[in-house]
Amino acid sequence: MPAPGRIAGLLPPGPRPFAAIPQYGEFSMIRNGVVFFALAAAFVLAGCSSGTQDKEQVKAAVTRYNQALSDGYKNLNMGTLLEVAEESQVNKAYFHMAALGESRLRMVSQLKDIQFSDFRFDSPSSARVKTREKWDFQHVNIDTQKIERNEQNFPYEVNYSLARRNGLWKVRAVETAVNPAGTAGK
Positive or negative, the CA dihedral 55, 113, 62, 92 is positive
Q: What is the mean pLDDT of residues 9-30?
A: 52
Return the domain boundaries, the chain.
28-178
Q: What is the pLDDT of residues 21-52, one digit of tens each?
A: 555 554 455 545 444 444 444 443 344 435 78
Sheet containing strand 147-165, edge to edge, reads: 105-123, 126-141, 147-165, 168-178
| The architecture CATH gives domain 28-178 | Roll (3.10)
Q: What is the pLDDT of residues 110-134, one digit of tens each?
A: 999 999 999 999 999 999 999 999 9
Q: Concatenate the DSSP letters of all residues of 124-167 into one string.
A: TTEEEEEEEEEEEEEEEETTT--EEEEEEEEEEEEEEEEEEETT
Q: What is the pLDDT of residues 129-181, one digit of tens each?
A: 999 999 999 999 999 999 999 999 999 999 999 999 999 999 999 999 876 55
